[in-house]
């Protein structure tokens, strides 16, 4: 059974509202659209949308995990560019995705 993107977004929004850190964009749709429009196309032949959403969760992280994600370990005070989160997310999503295929 294929899950619709709307269903994936609804699930992601619940996660994002609960886990988002202070520096992250307030709008969950901004991160979701970025991930699925700019990063996922590079991996669509290798993983489903649901698997990729798992990569998004792993990349951003959850409070209290043994392996923290960006929400727990990234400190934006060291960056000075206006659109820093785009490059950080692109690199982080790609790194975590590659790790799935090298494991």
pTM of the model: 0.73
What is the tens place of the pLDDT at every residue in 35-65?
888 888 888 898 899 998 988 888 887 777 6
DSSP 3-state of 66:
coil
pLDDT at 8: 94
Strand runs (DSSP E) across the chain, as ranges?
none
More confident residue, 87 or 8: 8
Q: SS3 for 60? A: helix
Residues 71-99 have pLDDT tens digits of 666 666 666 555 666 666 667 767 766 66
Model confidence pLDDT, tens digit, residues 59-72: 887 777 667 777 66
């Amino acid at each position: 059974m294929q899950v619709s993107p709307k269903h994936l977004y609804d699930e992601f929004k619940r996660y994002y509202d609960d886990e988002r850190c202070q520096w992250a964009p307030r709008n969950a749709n901004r991160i979701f659209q970025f991930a699925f429009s700019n990063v996922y196309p590079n991996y669509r032949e290798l993983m489903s949308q649901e698997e990729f959403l798992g990569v998004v969760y792993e990349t951003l992280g959850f409070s209290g995990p043994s392996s923290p994600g960006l929400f727990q370990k990234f400190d934006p005070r060291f960056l000075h560019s206006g659109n820093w989160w785009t490059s950080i997310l692109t690199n982080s999503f790609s790194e975590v995705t590659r790790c799935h295929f090298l494991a």
